[in-house]
C-alpha cells in the first residue's frame, strides 16, 4: 500500500529533561523521536478512473493519427488498455464490489499505462515528439492529397454542395499555409510542428465526413454504384479486346478472362435484384473486377504471346487509401464504436497490409501488385465496417448499474373467512411494452469517400472507405405501473428501501475488510513481481525476434527508420542476466504462493 507520511519535529520534554540530568546519554541533550502520521492514499473516484481510461484511449487514437505511434505501438498500447479493462471487470464482478485496495491498484495501472504512452510517443519509431530534429513530414502530403480526392469525389457524386466544398478547400489552403510557414527555414518540420498540422488535418477530415453525410446533398446511404461498375466493366472489355488485337493475349487466354467476367456479371446481377449496387456490393465487385484485371495483366506478360513490359503505379496511391483507413480506425477508438479488442484486430490487419506493401515496393509496384494490395484493403474495409456497425462498444471501465425495483415489505397474509373457495382472478391481458421493431435488411454504412475508377491505366481503382461510427441509440423501455399506493405507503417503502440499502452496504464493507488479511497482501505483492518479470521477459523476447523490414519513406514509421529494431531510451543498459535471476527466483516462489492462495479460497 502506498502511504503518505508527514513528519513533525516535536521535542519530547520528558526525554530532553532526562537527557540533560542523567548520565544515560553522555552526549548531552538527545533529539526526540519525530512523530509520524500515516495517512492512507485517497481512494480514487470511479468517475475519475473511467474518465482517465477514456482519455488514454483517445490519446492512442491521436498518436496513431499524427504518426507518433507506429501501428505496432498502437496495438501494444491498446493491449495494455484491454488488460486494464479486464482487471476492472474482474474487480467489479466480485461479491460486494471492488475494495478500496482494488480501486487504488486500478488507478496505479492507469498511471502506468499513461507512462507507457508517453514513452511510445517519444522514441524514434514513429515521429519523436521530444525531438527538435527536422523531418520531411511526407505523411502530411499524403493525408492532404487524400482529403483533396475526397472533396473532388464529393462534388462528383453530389454528396457535397459547391458551398460546402469551398469551405473545405479554404480549410486545406489555411493548413497548407501553416505547413509552409513551418518549413520556411530549411524545408523541414519538427515532430511537434508536424503534430500540429496533423491534428488540424484530423479536424478537417471530421468536417468533411460530416458535410458528406449531413443530408444536404446526395444521401450516400442510398447511393448506387451501378454506373461505376458499368464503367469499370467497359474498361476491362477494352483491355481484353486490345490484348487480342496486339497479340499479347491468345484466344485460349481470352476465354479464361471471359470466365472471370462471367463471375463479375453474376455478382452484379445478384446485387441489382433490389435495383441498385450498394457500398458493400460495390466493394465485393471491385475485388472481383480487380481479379479480372490481374489475370489480363499476368497473361500479357507470359511467353505464350507478345510479352508486354511491366507498368508501375506510384506507391502514394496505396498510402493515400491506407491513411484514410487509419483515420477511420482512430475515429472508432476515439468515439468508442470500436472496442479495444476490435481495434487491436484492425491494427493487426493494417500491419499485414503494410508488410505486403513493404515487400512489393522494393523493386517498384507493378499494376498487378497494386491491384492485389487493393483487394487486401477492400477486405479490410468490409471487416472495419462490420466491427464499427455492430452492437459492441467501448463503454468505459465501470459497468452499467441497473437499479433493482423497490419491493413492498412482506406482511402476513390475511386468512379469508370460511365459505366457498375464492374464484381465481382472470389473468391480466398481455401488454407489449415498447416492442422492438422487426429487424430490417442490413443497410450499408454511409460512404465517406468514393474512390472511383481512373481514366488512366496507372491510377488506382480502390473501393470507397466508410468510417461512420455505430449508432449509440438504444430503444427506451417504459415500465408498466400496475400498482397504485398511497403517498404515505410510498414514503414508507422508500425509507425501508433506504435503510435496507445502508445495512447491505455496511455489511458488504465489513466482509470485504475482514477478507483483506496479510496472506492476501503477500500474494498480491508476489503476483505483481511475477507480472513485471513476465512482462520484461516478453519485451526482451519481442525485441530479439525483430528483423529489419527496410521500410520505405513515408509509411507508418519514421521515414527511413528500422521500426522493429528501435530501442526505448529507458531500456538501454538493462541488466538482462540480473532480471533472469529475479525471474527464476520468483518462478520458484510461485508454487508456494499458489498453495497459500488455495488455502484462503
Predicted pLDDT at 173: 95
Cβ atoms 465, 288 nearer than 8 A: no
pLDDT classification of 564: cutoffs 50, 70, 90: very low
Predicted pLDDT at 559: 39
Mean pLDDT computed over every residue of the chain: 74
Predicted pLDDT at 437: 33
pLDDT in tens, 283-336: 999 999 999 999 999 999 998 878 999 999 999 999 999 999 999 999 999 999
pLDDT in tens, 168-199: 999 999 999 999 999 998 899 999 999 999 99
What b/e string do you get for 243-255 counting C-beta neighbours within 10 Å, with b at 16 or more? bbeeebbbeebbe
Average pLDDT over residues 424-448: 34
Q: Which residues contact 59 (CB under 8 A, 6 or more apart)?
A: 117
Domain locations along the chain: 3-40, 138-218, 221-326+335-383+443-468, 517-600
pLDDT classification of 599: cutoffs 50, 70, 90: very low
Q: Per the structure block, which three cell numbers stand in for 142?
A: 499524403
What b/e string do you get for 495-531 counting C-beta neighbours within 10 Å, with b at 16 or more? eebeeeeeeeeeeeeeebeeeeeeeeeeeeebeebbe
Q: Per the structure block, which three cell numbers stand in for 404?
A: 433493482
Cβ atoms 212, 153 nearer than 8 A: no
Dist. CA 113–CA 415, nearest whole Å: 65
Predicted pLDDT at 245: 94
pLDDT classification of 20: cutoffs 50, 70, 90: very low
Comparison of pLDDT for 131 and 39, the residue scoring more:
131
Asked if the model's pLDDT at residue 16 lies above 90, the reply is no
Asked if the model's pLDDT at residue 472 lies above 80, the reply is no
Helix or strand run (H / E) with residue 194: helix 191-212
Strands (E), 399-481: none
Average pLDDT over residues 124-147: 93
Q: Which residues contact 172 (CB under 8 A, 6 or more apart)?
A: 144, 147, 148, 151, 204
Asked if the model's pLDDT at residue 601 lies above 50, the reply is no
pLDDT in tens, 402-431: 444 444 444 444 434 433 333 333 333 333
User: Is residue 476 exposed (0-12), middle (13-18) or buried (19+ Cβ within 10 Å)?
Assistant: exposed
Strands (E), 127-245: none
Predicted pLDDT at 42: 82
488 HSE (CA, 13 A, CB side) = 0
Dist. CA 373–CA 352, nearest whole Å: 10
pLDDT classification of 339: cutoffs 50, 70, 90: very high
Predicted pLDDT at 216: 87
pLDDT in tens, 445-455: 333 333 333 33
Cell 479495444, located at residue: 340
Dist. CA 405–CA 492, nearest whole Å: 15
Model pTM score:
0.64
- Most confident region among 21-30, 248-257, 437-446, 496-505 by mean pLDDT: 248-257
pLDDT in tens, 356-397: 999 999 889 999 999 999 999 999 999 999 999 999 999 998
Dist. CA 91–CA 105, nearest whole Å: 10
* Backbone phi and psi for residue 581, each to the nearest 5 degrees, phi listed first: -65, -45
Amino acid at each position: 500500500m502506498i502511504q503518505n507520511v508527514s513528519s513533525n519535529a516535536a521535542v519530547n520534554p520528558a526525554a530532553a529533561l532526562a537527557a540533560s540530568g542523567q548520565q544515560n546519554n553522555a552526549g548531552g541533550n538527545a533529539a526526540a523521536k519525530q512523530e509520524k502520521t500515516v495517512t492512507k492514499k485517497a481512494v480514487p473516484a470511479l468517475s475519475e478512473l473511467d474518465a482517465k481510461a477514456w482519455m488514454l484511449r483517445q490519446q492512442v487514437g491521436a498518436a496513431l493519427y499524427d504518426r507518433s505511434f507506429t501501428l505496432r505501438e498502437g496495438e501494444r498500447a491498446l493491449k495494455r488498455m484491454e488488460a486494464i479493462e479486464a482487471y476492472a471487470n474482474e474487480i467489479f464482478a466480485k461479491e460486494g464490489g471492488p475494495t478500496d485496495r482494488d480501486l487504488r491498484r486500478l488507478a496505479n495501472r492507469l498511471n502506468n499505462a499513461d507512462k507507457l504512452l508517453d514513452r511510445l510517443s517519444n522514441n524514434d519509431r514513429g515521429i519523436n515528439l521530444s525531438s527538435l530534429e527536422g523531418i520531411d513530414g511526407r505523411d502530411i502530403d499524403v493525408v492532404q492529397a487524400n482529403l483533396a480526392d475526397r472533396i473532388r469525389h464529393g462534388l462528383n457524386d453530389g454528396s457535397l454542395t459547391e458551398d460546402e466544398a469551398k469551405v473545405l478547400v479554404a480549410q486545406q489552403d489555411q493548413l497548407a499555409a501553416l505547413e509552409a510557414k513551418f518549413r520556411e527555414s530549411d524545408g523541414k518540420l519538427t515532430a511537434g510542428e508536424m503534430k500540429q498540422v496533423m491534428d488540424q488535418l484530423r479536424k478537417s477530415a471530421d468536417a468533411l465526413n460530416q458535410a458528406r453525410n449531413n443530408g444536404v446533398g446526395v444521401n450516400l446511404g442510398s447511393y448506387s454504384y451501378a454506373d461505376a461498375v458499368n464503367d469499370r466493366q467497359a474498361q476491362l472489355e477494352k483491355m481484353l479486346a486490345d490484348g487480342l488485337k496486339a497479340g499479347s493475349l491468345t484466344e485460349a487466354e481470352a476465354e479464361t478472362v471471359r470466365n472471370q467476367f462471367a463471375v463479375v456479371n453474376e455478382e452484379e446481377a445478384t446485387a441489382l435484384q433490389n435495383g441498385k449496387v450498394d457500398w458493400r456490393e460495390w466493394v465485393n465487385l471491385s475485388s472481383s473486377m480487380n481479379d479480372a484485371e490481374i489475370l489480363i495483366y499476368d497473361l500479357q506478360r507470359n511467353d505464350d504471346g507478345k510479352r508486354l513490359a511491366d507498368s508501375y503505379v506510384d506507391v502514394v496511391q496505396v498510402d493515400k487509401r491506407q491513411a484514410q483507413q487509419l483515420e477511420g480506425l482512430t475515429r472508432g477508438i476515439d468515439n468508442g464504436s470500436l472496442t479495444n479488442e476490435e481495434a487491436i484486430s484492425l491494427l493487426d490487419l493494417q500491419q499485414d497490409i503494410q508488410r505486403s506493401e513493404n515487400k512489393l515496393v522494393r523493386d517498384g509496384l507493378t499494376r498487378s501488385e497494386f491491384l492485389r494490395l487493393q483487394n487486401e484493403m477492400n477486405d479490410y474495409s468490409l471487416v472495419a465496417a462490420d466491427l464499427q456497425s455492430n452492437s459492441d462498444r467501448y463503454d468505459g471501465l465501470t459497468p452499467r448499474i441497473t437499479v433493482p425495483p423497490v419491493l413492498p415489505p412482506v406482511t402476513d397474509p390475511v386468512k379469508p373467512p370460511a365459505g366457498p373457495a375464492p374464484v381465481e382472478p382472470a389473468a391480466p391481458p398481455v401488454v407489449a411494452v415498447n416492442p422492438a421493431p422487426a429487424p430490417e435488411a442490413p443497410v450499408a454504412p454511409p460512404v465517406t469517400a468514393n474512390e472511383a475508377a481512373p481514366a488512366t491505366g496507372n491510377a488506382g481503382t480502390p473501393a470507397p472507405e466508410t468510417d461512420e461510427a455505430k449508432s449509440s441509440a438504444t430503444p427506451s423501455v417504459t415500465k408498466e405501473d400496475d400498482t397504485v399506493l398511497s403517498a404515505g405507503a410510498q414514503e414508507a417503502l422508500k425509507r425501508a428501501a433506504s435503510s435496507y440499502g445502508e445495512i447491505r452496504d455496511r455489511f458488504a464493507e465489513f466482509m470485504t475488510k475482514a477478507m483483506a488479511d496479510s496472506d492476501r497482501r503477500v500474494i498480491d505483492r508476489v503476483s505483481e513481481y511475477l507480472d513485471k518479470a513476465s512482462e520484461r521477459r516478453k519485451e526482451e523476447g519481442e525485441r530479439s525476434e525483430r528483423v529489419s523490414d527496410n521500410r520505405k519513406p513515408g509509411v507508418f514509421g519514421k521515414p527511413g527508420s528500422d521500426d522493429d529494431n528501435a530501442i526505448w531510451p529507458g531500456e538501454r543498459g538493462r541488466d538482462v542476466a540480473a532480471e533472469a535471476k529475479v525471474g527464476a527466483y520468483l518462478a520458484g516462489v510461485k508454487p508456494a504462493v499458489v498453495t497459500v492462495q488455495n488455502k484462503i479460497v
